[in-house]
Every structure is written in C-alpha cells, then in structure tokens.
Amino acid sequence: MSQGKVYLVGAGPGAEKLITVRGLECLRMADVIVYDRLANPRLLRFAKPEAEFVFCGKLPKHHTLRQEAINELLVQKAKEGKTVVRLKGGDPSVFGRVGEEAAELAGQGIEYEIVPGITAGIAASVYAGIPVTHREYGTSFAVVTGHTKTENGRPIVDWASLGGVDTLAFYMGVKNLPYICDSLISHGRHPKTPVALISWGTMGRQQTVQGTLETIVQRVREAGLKNPAITLVGDIVSLRDQIQWFEKKPLFGRRILVARTGGEQGNLANALAEQGADVIEYPYFSVRGVENKTTEEMMVRSGEYERILFTSPESAAFFFEAYRQSGKDIREITPAFYTLSRRTKRKLQEMGFVSEQTEPFSAEGKWLIIGEVSILNDREKYETKWGPCDVMAVYKKEECREYNMNMVRLLREEGVDTVIFPSAASVGTLVRSLEQAGFDPRTVLSAASLICMGEKTAKAIQEAGYTVNRMAASPTLASLLSCLTFEKINV
C-alpha cells in the first residue's frame, strides 16, 4: 500500500469564502478531514460524499481529542494510504500548533504540506473597520497569545518588549483581559489607549466592543462578549468609527436558516451572506447519477413521449448528461418539456431548452416523469395527477451527515431568528430532518420569523401547524431580500 499525504490547512477566520483556493482544492480531494470547532462547518459540504470526518473541536477545559491523539491519527490515516486534511481555523501557524503536527509527521516520514490561511488577527480586525497598520496611526503590528497552558492561564509575555509596537492583537484573551490591560498600563501604555474586542470576526454574529485600557474590561462584561475573540490595542482602533463597513450591511446580525430540499448549489444562501447574515442551510444533500438497465432502456425511448416533466433542476442536469453519454443525437428528443418550479425552468433555459412551468393536468398521450430514485415509489401519485406516465430515476440524493450534524449543533448553540422556506416541499423536509436528528422542530419554528416564497409554500407552513410571518411579493431573490430588509428582528 502506498503511503498517503497530510495537508495542514488554514480554514480562514470564519467566513467560508475566506478560505484560500489551495485550501478548497485540498478539501475536495481529501479522504479524511480532521477539523476544529473554529473551522466553518459549511466548508464540509465541499468534501467528497464518501470522505471520513473526525471532529476534534476544543473548548475551554474540554478537548474532544487531545493534541497527542490528533498527531497519532494523522500518522495512522496517512499510513493507510489516505489523503488527509487537517482543517484549522485561521492560519495553522498562528497559535494553531501546526509546528507540533508537522514535526510528528516529519519524524514518521509522512509527506505533508502546510497551506496558510488568513489569520483572525488581521481579518476580524478589518471586518470591524480597523486595519492593523496605517501610515499615520501605526507602522508595526504584533500578535500575542491571550492565554497559555500555565496554571493560571495568563500569557507569559515580555511586556516591556511590546512597548515599541504600535498595534497589538491578543488571541483568545477575554478571560485574561484584566491582567492584559493592567500589564500594558504598568509597562508604559497610556490608560486612554483605544482598545477593541471582536468576537466571531467575519461572521454575521460578529460583535465588537470598544473602550480604552482603563474601561474595556467593564464594557466587555456588560456586553457579555466571550471567546473566540481578538483584542486589538492601539491608536489605530480609533479608525473604526470612520471606516467600519461589515456591520453596516442590511442583514448584519441576522441568523437565517434556509430550508433545503435538493443537492444543487443554490444562490440564496450566498446572497444572504453577502448582505451580512449568518446563514445555515439545512438539510444538505449530495447528489450522484444512477445507471441501470431500465434507465438505459427508457433513455433510448425518451423521444417516444409527448411530454417530459422534470421534477427538479438536478433531474434536468443528470438526464441530459446521461443522454450525452449514451451517444444519441439530442435532436431526436421531440416531446414538450414541463417543470414544476421556476428553478427547474431556469436550469433548462441555461441548457438552451424552452419549458413550461405547469400545474398537474391530464391530456392525451403519455408523460415521462424524470427525477430522483424516490420517484420510483410515486408512480401511482403521478398517474393520478398527470394521467398515463412512466417514471425515470436519473440521480440519487444522499444526506451530508457530517455537515447536517454540525448545522444541528449550531442550531442548538446559537439558534436562528428567521427561517426561509423557498418551496412547499422544503417545509416537510425540514421538519422531518430535525425530528430525525432528535431536535424538536417547534424549538426552531416557533421562536423564529417564518418567511416563504409563494402561496403554496405558505399553505404548507400553515398545514404543518405554524404561522407565516411574511411572504415575498414574488418568488424571486430580489423580492425575498426586499422582504428581509424591510422586516426588523430583535437580535
């Protein structure tokens, strides 16, 4: 067996798009992903469906896996011939213990690569409107640990040597903030020196508290701010009032759950995140094409039908991919195309096909209804609605279990203030998935504002026993964003 390789990857400061291109490449090819609590779990959806996941999240006084066990795991999986990604929040070389892991791999003769990430001290700061250097405010910058493995946890720092550094960034120093402030003042920093603490930087839940060395401790206590946090000290902090940008986004501070039904990448979550929201997509699925003798036979006969109904965007994509691979001439397909949703209609338009979005109707001639494997159990239902038909499964949908488990964890820890249902089907899918995860749906749906896109979806929400708070004026992204921006939520 050939030996594998380990990639020690920085996931960035929190926002999923701040991972590097190389980091994303490594995630996509990994057989095993060993990930931390501070690595955005949304990144896990880029992994292969068959990848193995190991969570080694660390909380104060509680480690899922000790560092020694993590080192042993990386070596073991690489010796099994696996491609392993060790996914760490921020940059792995900035208080990320990558040196210890790399040394262990090197000692065991394991090939490895260190992939840098954007460190929180820089990213969280600039997302709070504070650049770490500026020609007029600070031309030097230092990062300092805010806690250590000592008995009292206080950082062991040569405080006098920090006196000549304009801007200081302390990592994870909330607990030791009084000691840090007192030490800086006693070693020459003016008590009026500006200070800012940024918790969960670059995320929609980002929280920033400002003060000075003599006032910041009390202000942080009043705000209830906790780790993970960056403490910035220096005159440059005063720039925040002038150039802060992220916290001014229209949906900043909102925590939104988007209920999903399919596996195709949508643009809704990205659009909400662009407006500053923290977004949870749940449940999430991976999709893959299916091939069997029956499907191949129906593919050959597809031109014999009067109408073809595509039940999802994925059904269109996989059908035409299978048709292309069959070697048949696409011009032999003569039936009219129908869809059940605007998303599927748009998918066909992107591929160069005209379709009609329609409600069920019966007519002379036979339908070919194309969808996911579960459609094979629904033939009778479709015949009742659409008349004589054949059903054809072109893809299989599977739950992304590790990703979904992490989304449920976030729901338990943080909750959401808004739930968006893009379709009627998303209502039942969300409720069933939460129940299967051992989570009472009422915990989420009764405490959040429920927003839907369309009357059919509103009806499905009401039939499930919940109240619709708002309905987008039209089933479009622009209308939904307008609806969300208009609605005020106490966050």
Paired with 7 in beta bridges are 85, 113
User: Would you state the structure tokens that stand for residue 357, as one six-digit string?
Assistant: 């979005």
From the list 31, 48, 58, 378, the catalytic residue is: 58
CA 149 to chain centre: 31
Indicate the DSSP class of residue 266.
P
Strands (E), 17-166: 32-35, 52-55, 58-59, 62-63, 83-88, 111-115, 141-145
From the list 77, 91, 172, 471, the catalytic residue is: 172
For residue 364, CA distances in Å to 305, 359, 480 come to: 11, 16, 39
Strands (E), 325-463: 336-339, 356-357, 367-372, 389-399, 418-421, 449-452
Are 106 and 71 in contact by the 8 Å Cβ rule? The answer is no
CA 365 to chain centre: 45
Enumerate residues 6+ apart whose C-beta is below 8 A from 389: 309, 366, 367, 368, 369, 379, 382, 383
- AA letter at 38: L
| 36 in catalytic set | yes
Q: What angle do CA 234, 237, 240 make, to 5 degrees?
A: 175
Active site residues: 36, 58, 172
